[in-house]
């Protein structure tokens, strides 16, 4: 792999631009150098100059006009992700955009077209694709030990009240757009294929101070596909397991740190055939349909290099994937076409909830 240091400009020095992107990029200086940042708040610009040793600008336009950048990270507020990313592509920059990438499939189409026309990448910061538990679940499902997968449950629940800008529809806020891109991306990967699932979605405003939803129940279905049950709730006072997989030969449950799965092997199971007449025990009394299966149980626990922190690990994995794409021309592993399908799903969810999205 060719190696050179990519010069990066970061738009925004808030919770995402500084606490996620800036903090991670400082840890991999052989691959990325923070050359410049843009933020409208003077204190943030001063802090960035001190922390990164970079130049700081009040506007992103000033930054890209005065710097030679290999990559621009778009960590602005959500409703500005699309218009700024589009203009950056048109100006000839590779772009890594925070989620949500856009609001509609049509906006993603515009970004894809601009990317193709400029020859520059539009990458999306959906680092949960590299979540070790998700990758292990995928491996277990693909191994076939659980049989045909009937249902997969995702739950990102808790009890919290929220009153910041991400609770507003005008800012592309709400739980589906804020939290949803990660589990929806994982769900669509396990659902399989590139076709739009059948969607049933219920939304509610429970503990939010804004006008966007903070409760989402989303079902995805399709012929020959597993049913996906995805739940994001801010009013769940009791925890629910993050992952549950239902299969014809067994199942799996767990969270980001540990998983357990149990299954039987069909070749070890008693031979059975359909009986249309009543069942009897050996003594002639009525019998219930039951059998003894030999169950096999396996477990997995997350083990990460370095400090073993999950979020930095996933972030680094995505940035290294992006590095290979920019430097060596490797294909993106999280593609805008995949994110377009997410936007289709989310658009349908809003359509089905006119009491919130009138």
Task: Find the mean pLDDT for residues 52-58.
Answer: 96
For the sheet with 227-233, list strands across it.
198-204, 215-221, 227-233, 149-157, 243-247, 250-254, 258-264, 295-301
Residues 137-177: tens digit of each pLDDT: 999 999 999 999 999 999 999 999 999 888 889 889 899 99
Task: Find the mean pLDDT for residues 186-210.
Answer: 94
The predicted structure's pLDDT at residue 132: 97
Give the rounded percent of residues in the chain with a pLDDT score beyond 90. 88
User: What is the dotted CATH code of the domain comprising 130-263+300-307+341-351?
Assistant: 3.30.360.10
Residues 301-345: tens digit of each pLDDT: 999 987 789 999 999 999 999 999 999 999 999 999 999 999 999
Locate the domains of the chain by residue range. Answer: 6-126+312-331, 130-263+300-307+341-351
The predicted structure's pLDDT at residue 139: 97
1 pLDDT above the threshold of 80? no
d(CA 79, CA 116): 23
Q: Are strands 95-98 and 71-74 parallel, antiparallel or unpaired?
A: parallel
Query: Regarding the domain with residue range 6-126+312-331, which homologous superfamily does it belong to in the CATH classification?
Result: NAD(P)-binding Rossmann-like Domain (3.40.50.720)
Q: Which residues, 6 or more positions from 322, have their beta carbon under 8 angstroms from its beta carbon?
A: 71, 96, 121, 123, 332
The predicted structure's pLDDT at residue 22: 95
Cα separation values, 204 from 36, 58, 291, 299, Å? 41, 38, 44, 36
d(CA 12, CA 47): 12
The predicted structure's pLDDT at residue 275: 85
Residues 280-292: tens digit of each pLDDT: 988 989 989 888 9
Task: Find the mean pLDDT for residues 339-353.
Answer: 96
User: Phi/psi class of residue 66: alpha, beta or left (left: φ > 0; alpha: ψ in -120 to 50)?
Assistant: alpha
Give the rounded percent of residues in the chain with a pLDDT score beyond 70. 100
Instruction: Dump the DSSP string for 118-184.
Output: HT--EEEE-GGGG-HHHHHHHHHHHHTTT-SEEEEEEEEE-B--B-SGGG-GGGT-SHHHHTTHHHH
Residues 214-271: tens digit of each pLDDT: 999 999 999 999 999 999 999 999 988 999 999 999 999 999 999 999 999 999 999 9
């Amino acid at each position: 792999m060719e190696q050179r240091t990519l010069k990066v400009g970061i738009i925004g020095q808030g919770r995402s631009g500084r606490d996620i992107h800036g903090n991670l990029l400082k840890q991999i200086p052989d691959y990325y150098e923070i050359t410049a940042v843009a933020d409208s708040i003077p204190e943030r610009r001063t802090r960035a100059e001190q922390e990164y040793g970079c130049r700081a600008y009040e506007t992103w336009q000033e930054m890209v006009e005065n710097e030679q950048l290999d990559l621009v990270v778009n960590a602005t507020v959500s409703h500005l992700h699309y218009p700024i990313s589009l203009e950056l592509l048109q100006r000839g920059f590779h772009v890594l955009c925070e989620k949500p990438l856009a609001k509609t499939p049509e906006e993603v189409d515009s970004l894809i077209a601009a990317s193709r026309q400029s020859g520059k990448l539009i990458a999306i910061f959906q680092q949960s694709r590299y979540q070790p538990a998700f990758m292990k679940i995928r491996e277990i499902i693909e191994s076939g030990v659980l049989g045909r997968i009937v249902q997969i449950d995702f739950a990102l629940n808790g009890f919290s009240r929220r009153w910041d800008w991400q609770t507003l529809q005008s800012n592309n806020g709400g739980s589906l757009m804020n939290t949803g891109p990660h589990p929806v991306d994982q769900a669509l990967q396990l659902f399989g294929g590139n076709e739009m699932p059948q969607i049933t979605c219920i939304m509610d405003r429970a503990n939010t101070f804004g006008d966007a939803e903070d409760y989402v129940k989303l079902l995805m279905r399709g012929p020959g596909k597993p049913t996906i049950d995805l739940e994001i709730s801010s009013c769940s006072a009791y925890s629910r397991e993050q992952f549950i997989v239902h299969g014809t030969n067994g199942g799996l449950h767990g969270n980001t740190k540990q998983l357990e799965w149990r299954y039987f092997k069909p070749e070890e199971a008693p031979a059975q055939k359909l009986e249309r007449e009543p069942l009897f025990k050996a003594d002639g009394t009525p019998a219930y349909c039951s059998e003894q299966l030999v169950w096999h149980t396996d477990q997995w626990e997350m083990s990460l290099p370095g400090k073993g922190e999950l979020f930095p690990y996933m972030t680094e994995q995505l940035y290294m994937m992006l590095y290979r794409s920019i430097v060596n021309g490797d294909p993106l592993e999280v593609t805008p076409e995949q994110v377009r399908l997410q936007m289709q799903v989310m658009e349908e969810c809003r359509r089905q909830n006119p009491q919130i999205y009138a």
